[in-house]
Amino acid sequence: MQVPQDGEDFVGQPWYHGPLSRQKAEDLLQQDGDFLVRASKSRGGHPVISCRWRGSALHFEVLRVALRPRPGRPTALFQLEDERFPSLPALVRSYVIGQRPLSQATGAVASRPVPRQGLIRRSFSEDTLPDDPARTEPLRDRKRSDSQPAGLEHMWRSPEDPPGPGASTVPASGLPRTGSDPVILKTPVPLGSVADSLRASDGQLHAKAPTKPPRTPSLLLPDASGRPPTYCELVPRVLRVQGPPPGHSCPESEVPWWEAEEEKEEDRCFARPQAEVSFCLPDTPSCLLGSQNRPLEPEVLHTLRGLFLEHHPGSTALHLLLVDCQATGVLGVTKAQRGAMGVASGLELLTLPHGHRLRLELLERLETLALAGALAVLGCAGPLEERAAALRGLVELAVALRPGAVGDLPGLAAVMGALLMPQVSRLERTWRHLRRSHTEAALAFEQELKPLMRSLNEGAGPSDPGEVALPHVAPAARLLEGEELPGPLDESCERLLRTLHRARQTARDAPRFREAVARRLRGFRPNPELTEALTTGFLRRLLWGSRGAGAPWATRLEKFHRVLSVLSQRLEPDP
């Protein structure tokens, strides 16, 4: 049997609800085992499985892995944790019929689909990669639509050959045709008036199956906001729309602060900076930590593990890019801060004498993120597979952060610092299991990521703002803080010149880096909890507690390295 080129269509499945907010999805889940699939707006249209388990509503984002197009195989695979499937219905079918937990951390089992009510007016295309908003392709023709609860028992069966245009048939399940098929309008009308004319009763069963109308190609409506156009089979789109019809208003979403335009600088004389500038966020009440938290609280670590499991590496990489840009002073720089530091970006401030405080903050952030990443592996006291899965997750996050993808090189350096930490690299059995069970991730780490990181630390590697969103500034920060370079004198001098030349080039290209970041974050809606979990202040309190976070950095670093060494020895004792 030939595999469909684009996998099975999931828009017609009864458990798929299209764009649906988290709150509305939780209201629909009444009992343990209830589940539905929705297109999350905050995740850029990624499919999310919402399920109620043990009285709580849980949300699991489905990772879509694009493949090179080849005849006879799908163009993408869908994945929750380890196993990949050729289509979203195949994934749902496997987890529901087999009663498999959606994640090992929560043990949630989806068993009872919640059917949608009415029509799906807008949906994202399975053929469009969510990570590439500039790429849009029309949806393929739907094979069938059976959105009624009575057809749930037949939703796993493969449909027969679809009928030709204009044919009136009954689906294989024996149910009458539903009214959820597209209706051709005689004349194009404004979108708002068509949406208002739709009734919730259009999706109910009819006494007699209506004649299936022929399909007509829908047109893509250009969006002035720069976001990708959406597709709707119900309404033929018109090329130009002057504005909403009279009496119809659409709520406009507030522009996030990282998408706002920079304030225009007025002509003024240069004023010598009077104080050093810090971009660290002030300590605010945390939604994950208590006011007086202890270091490494088990409840918080369990919550964080579930939070990271809900997001695929591409989404986590965008969250890390957003926080790194704010910590570096690329985004969110106020007019008062620009006046105090005398330049417009933290990338310029790094190279100046009064950038001492910013350099120390960024070096501390790099080490703190690396310690947290190492803890994610060394804190897995369960089976060997659990530690190997944590290693694979860090490798996949590093791949998502590399140049050409998200392009967050400080985040990449932190993740690679965790993987190359002595307490982690000495886990021979864990790395051997990774190479055996997750060969693709192991090859990417050895053949791509390690050489790339070595090149970046030596002041070379990719640095073009089109390929990189945030450059690797740690080598220049260490040099400007007086750290000596190891190795022979001639090699260290050459490395010194390369690093300083790269720092000067980075300061000159600071506006271009800000534009590159803005392009990658356009339309991105972060998760507040995950964003907080990646900030330096949160990680400092998580690792050392609210009392220990105020200790000197060298003392905190030495203490936590001893903790990681003890954990590493417990996992794999020396022979």
User: 47: buried, middle or exposed (CB in 10 Å: 19+, 13-18, 0-12)?
Assistant: buried
Is the pTM for the entire model greater than 0.85? Answer: no
**Residue range 508-520: mean pLDDT, rounded:** 93
pLDDT computed for residue 172 by the predictor: 37
Counting residues of the chain whose pLDDT is more than 90, the rounded percentage is: 40
Judge whether residue 242 has pLDDT over 80.
no
The DSSP-derived string for 235-296 is SPPPS---SPPTT---PPPPPPGGGSPPPPPPP-------S----PPPP---SSS-TTPPTT
Give the Cα separation of 524 and 518 in Å (integer). 10
Per-residue model confidence as pLDDT tens digits over 304-352: 988 888 888 999 999 999 999 999 999 988 888 888 888 889 999 999 9
pLDDT tens digits for 6-59? Answer: 445 677 788 888 888 888 888 899 999 999 999 887 766 788 999 998 888 898
Give 459's pLDDT tier (boundaries 50, 70, 90).
Answer: confident
198: pLDDT strictly greater than 80: no
Predicted local confidence at residue 255, as pLDDT: 61
Helix residue ranges, H only, 268-383: 298-309, 313-328, 335-341, 346-349, 356-378
Q: Beta-carbon neighbour count of residue 575 at 10 Å? A: 3
Q: Strand pairing of 47-53 and 34-39? A: antiparallel
CA distance linking residue 45 with residue 133, whole number of Å: 10
Cα separation, 469 vs 323, in Å, equals 13
Q: Which helix (H) or strand (E) holds 112?
A: strand 112-113
| Amino acid in position 570 | R
CA angle 5, 11, 17 (to 5 degrees): 150
pLDDT over threshold 50, residue 557: yes
- On the 0-12 / 13-18 / 19+ scale of CB atoms within 10 A, 483 is exposed
pLDDT computed for residue 212 by the predictor: 45
Asked if the model's pLDDT at residue 470 lies above 50, the reply is: yes
* Pair type for strands 34-39 and 56-61: unpaired
Span 558-565, mean pLDDT?
Answer: 94
160-174, 288-302, 544-558: range with lowest mean pLDDT: 160-174
Pair of tokens at residue 245: 């019809």
Instruction: Tell me how far apart the alpha carbons of residues 56 and 8 are, in angstroms, rounded to a whole number.
Output: 30
Q: Average the pLDDT over 524-541 and give the result.
A: 92
Given this model, what pLDDT does residue 1 score?
A: 30
Answer whether residue 376 shows pLDDT above 70: yes
Q: Report the length, in residues, of the chain.
A: 575
Distant-in-sequence, close-in-space partners of 242: CB < 8 Å, separation ≥ 6: none
Q: What is the pLDDT of residue 161?
A: 43
CA end-to-end distance (rounded Å), the chain: 53
Q: Is the per-residue pLDDT at 512 higher than 80?
A: yes
Task: State the pLDDT confidence band at 274, using cuts at 50, 70 and 90.
Answer: low
Cα(452)–Cα(470) distance, integer angstroms: 15
CA atoms of 154 and 158, how far apart (whole Å): 9
| Residues 238-276 as b or e (16 or more Cβ within 10 Å = b) | eeeeeeeeeeeeeeeeeeeebeeeeeeeeeeeeeebeeb
Backbone angles phi and psi of 361, in degrees to 5: -65, -40
pLDDT for the residue 252: 38
Cα separations in angstroms, 543 against 389, 413, 493, 539: 22, 19, 37, 6
Distance (Å) of CA 120 to CA 137, 213, 232, 464, 533? 19, 18, 8, 42, 34
Residue 207 pLDDT exceeds 70: no
Please report the domains of the chain, with CATH numbers, ordered by start residue: 1-157+179-239 (3.30.505.10), 297-571 (1.10.840.10)
**Which of 99-103, 470-474, 484-488 has maximum average pLDDT?**
470-474
Q: Per-residue pLDDT averaged across 457-480, rounded?
A: 92
CB count within 10 Å of CB 422 equals 11
